[in-house]
Structures are given as C-alpha cells and as structure tokens.
C-alpha cells in the first residue's frame, strides 16, 4: 500500500470546516499547540516560543499527595478494576487481538498534556484541570493500548510539568519536573503494592519516559523488583548508551527474543533536523554523572526490535491512522519504514500524513507510538514470552 497522504479532495466549504475542527482540537490541548508553534518557530524562532510558553509565575511548591492517594481509583486514568470508560482497553478497528489482563502488569506514564500560554501557565498541572486530563486520556488510548494484549495497564494521573518546563534553562523547569516525578514515584509504589509478584512491563512517552528512567535508577536498579521487569519502553526521550544505561540496571534490547531490557526511539522524517534534541541531550546531566556529549543515543528499531538497523515499510505490521476524529481509527500495514540514523534518531523516510501535529524539523515525536502501534504490540508479546520462558 502506498504511503498515505491526504486522500480525498474537498470543497472549499468542507475544507474550512475541517480547518476549524482542527483548530478547536488544538485549543482543547491535544499537544503543544503544534500548528501555531510550528509557524512561529519557522518565522520567529524558539525565543518567541519560550516567551509565550514558559510560565512567568514563580514556581509554587505544591504539597505532597496523601500517603494513600493512589489507593483511590480516581487517581488513575487506567487500572484493571476500571471496567467502564477505561481508555487503555481500546483497540483500533479490525483488531482481532482482544485485551488481556492475565499475563503481565503494565505501568504506563503518559506524556505532557499540560500546555498553557502566558498568564494561564502554572509550572505544574492542577489535578482539577480537566483539559489536560482529557488529553492525557487520549494519549493512554492511542499509546498505552498497544500493551493491552499482554496484561493489565495501570496509568496514573500526576501533576505533570508544563510543556514550557522543557523550553527553559531556569531552575524552575527542573524543579517542576522533580515535583511531577514525586507523584509518579508514589504511583509506582502503589502499583508495586497492588502487583507484588509476576512479570512487569514499564512503558512511557516523552515527559513520562523521563520520569520512567528516573524510576529505573531510583527504585528498580539493584533491587529485587528488577528481576521482574520483562521490558522497558522509554520512548520519545533520549537515552545515552554509555552514560545512562549503566545506572539503569538493564541493557539495551539487542534482539526481538530478548527480555529484561530497554527500548527507546525518537521518530523523524527526512530531511530531518534533530539538532534541538541533540543539543539539549548534550547539555543535560546523565544518570551516571558522565557527560552526554560524545556518547550515543539509544535507537531501537521498533519494527525489528533490535538496536540500530533498518526495516522496509513492508515489514511494518500497522501504523495507527487516527487522522479523522469522525471515523474509527484503523491500522494500516506496510506504510512506514524505520532506520536508525548515525545521530541516534529513528528515520521514517519521507514525510507521511499522520495529522497536524508534526513538530519543526520533521519531528514526529507525537506519533512515536502510532507509527509502529502494531509493531509495539507484537514486540511486547514476544518479550513477555521470552521472559516467561526463563
């Protein structure tokens, strides 16, 4: 099947209605105001984006949650006792593989859904803020659902850092992320308490992956729970092979039939400009204390399940097509290839129409899971099977 672009011709009237719908979708907060941000980036650059999106207020030291906060089902977007309105149980149209709750427990940390501008911005989301919660539920639906064929998914709510925290060198940015991590850490402890034995899969995206890596260092590496980890999917966040992995307690996944390992990738179409991510990666501290600069970013090919390497589009088991909000999402196989570049990012060939949320530099960050949804599902099955054989 040819790579999909816009496949239908529209009248001007229908096009205007479609544009309006997309605008409202963005305003609702799906992800980082990408349509507007992309235009601003190209015309005025990152400085103006920072001015608009980095919170101006002083960081508020939000109080810790009560010790038993995550005993309350309301503090979770998904957990196995949620039989109604559980976004993690969703599957795309035509999916024959039904959700399973019998094999593994999956802890999923959603990416940033709290995007505000100017006077509306806090450094951390408030738990009663409905718009970012609605967006976070969409992420759980389109990302975490890839794992529902191998176990029960637990996805916590947390007081995530504002998107602007990633655009500044102010101490408040890192402090906001530390406050968000405190919630995630508390949710993870509740998850382990509810799942005292059996295999575990840990997965996340973007800000969620940053918190997941910290969890691995602080609460998994060198501890008994490490023996229960079937696989880790730290997607959409750079991981240094030399400077981060040694502190995380697990190796990179070198082959598809390997368990007890870490996967990570960041998706770009060509021509790609990953320089903002690489420059930020090189500046940030590592988990071992060694410099990131001069090290290699981990790139797992999600189609093959191995470090580096290439796979043709024909090998892709299914890309999630959710462009039209009025139609059921569906899987389209054979659309997107994957090739790990020397820079450490994952190249997907020429740009593909996934919707309006591609970032500057042909960065398909928002679609890291959707591009390879069926491959992630198959990968998790095989790694869990390999783990259970041990």
What number is the average pLDDT over the span 339-366? 94
Within-domain flag for 5: no
pLDDT of residue 49: 64
Q: How many domains does the chain have?
A: 1
Task: Please check the confidence at residue 184 and state whether its pLDDT lies above 70.
Answer: yes
**Dihedral-angle region of residue 309 (phi above 0 means left; psi in -120 to 50 means alpha; beta otherwise):** left
Q: Which tens digits make up the pLDDT trace of 200-235?
A: 999 999 999 999 999 999 999 999 999 999 999 999
Cα gap 120→131, rounded to integer Å: 13
What number is the average pLDDT over the span 251-275? 96
Within-domain flag for 205: yes
Task: Please check the confidence at residue 7 and state whether its pLDDT lies above 80.
Answer: no
Contact call for residues 173 and 157 (beta carbons, < 8 A): no
pLDDT of residue 145: 97
Cα gap 66→367, rounded to integer Å: 35
- Beta strands (DSSP E) in 25-141 are 76-78, 104-109
Q: Which tens digits make up the pLDDT trace of 296-348?
A: 999 999 999 999 989 999 999 999 998 887 788 999 999 999 999 999 999 99
Within-domain flag for 6: no
Within-domain flag for 7: no
Within-domain flag for 72: yes
Within-domain flag for 82: yes
pLDDT of residue 273: 93
Residue 31 lies in domain? 12-389
Within-domain flag for 4: no
pLDDT > 90 fraction of the chain, expressed in percent and rounded: 69
Q: Which tens digits make up the pLDDT trace of 12-56?
A: 444 444 444 444 444 344 444 444 544 544 544 556 566 667 777
Buried b (16+ CB within 10 A) or exposed e, 336-348: bbbbbbebbbbbb
How do the residues of the chain divide into helix, strand and coil, expressed in percent and rounded to 5? Answer: 40, 15, 45
Task: Please check the confidence at residue 247 and state whether its pLDDT lies above 90.
Answer: yes
Cα gap 184→47, rounded to integer Å: 31
Q: Which residues pair with 267 in a beta bridge?
A: 346
Within-domain flag for 171: yes
Find all residues with CB under 8 Å of 340, minimum gap 6, and list them: 265, 299, 300, 301, 307, 308, 309, 310, 346, 347
pLDDT of residue 74: 95
């Amino acid at each position: 099947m040819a790579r999909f672009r816009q496949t239908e011709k529209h009248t001007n009237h229908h096009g205007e209605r479609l544009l309006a719908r997309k605008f409202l979708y963005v305003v609702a907060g799906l992800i980082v105001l990408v349509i507007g941000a992309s235009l601003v980036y190209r015309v005025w650059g990152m400085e103006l984006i920072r001015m608009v999106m980095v919170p101006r207020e002083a960081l508020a030291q939000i109080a810790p949650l009560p010790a038993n906060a995550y005993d309350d089902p309301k503090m979770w977007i998904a957990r196995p006792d949620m039989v109604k309105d559980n976004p993690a149980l969703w599957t795309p149209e035509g999916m024959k593989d039904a959700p399973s709750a019998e094999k593994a427990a999956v802890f999923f940390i959603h990416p940033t859904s709290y995007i505000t501008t100017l006077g509306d911005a806090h450094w951390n989301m408030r738990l009663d803020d409905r718009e970012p919660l609605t967006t976070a539920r969409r992420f759980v639906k389109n990302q975490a659902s890839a794992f529902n064929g191998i176990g029960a998914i637990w996805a916590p709510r947390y007081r995530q850092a504002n998107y602007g925290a990633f655009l500044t060198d102010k101490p408040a940015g890192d402090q906001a992320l530390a406050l968000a991590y405190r919630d995630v850490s508390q949710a993870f402890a509740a998850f382990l308490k509810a799942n005292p034995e059996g295999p575990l899969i840990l997965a996340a995206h973007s800000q969620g992956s940053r918190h997941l890596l910290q969890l691995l260092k602080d609460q998994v590496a060198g501890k008994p729970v490490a023996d229960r980890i079937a696989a880790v999917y730290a997607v959409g966040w750079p991981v240094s092979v030399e400077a981060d992995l040694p502190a995380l307690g697990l190796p990179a996944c070198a082959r598809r039939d390997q368990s007890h390992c870490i996967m990570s990738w960041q998706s770009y179409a060509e021509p790609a400009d990953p320089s903002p991510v690489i420059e930020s990666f090189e500046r940030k501290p590592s988990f071992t204390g060694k410099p990131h600069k001069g090290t290699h970013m981990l790139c797992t090919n999600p189609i093959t399940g191995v470090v580096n390497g290439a796979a043709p589009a024909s090998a892709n088991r299914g890309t999630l097509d959710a462009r039209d909000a009025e139609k059921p999402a569906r899987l389209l196989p054979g659309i997107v290839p994957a090739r790990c570049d020397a820079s450490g990012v994952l190249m997907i060939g020429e740009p593909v129409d996934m919707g309006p949320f591609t970032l500057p530099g042909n960065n398909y960050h928002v679609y890291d899971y959707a591009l390879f949804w069926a491959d992630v599902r198959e990968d998790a099955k095989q790694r869990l099977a390999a783990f259970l054989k041990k």
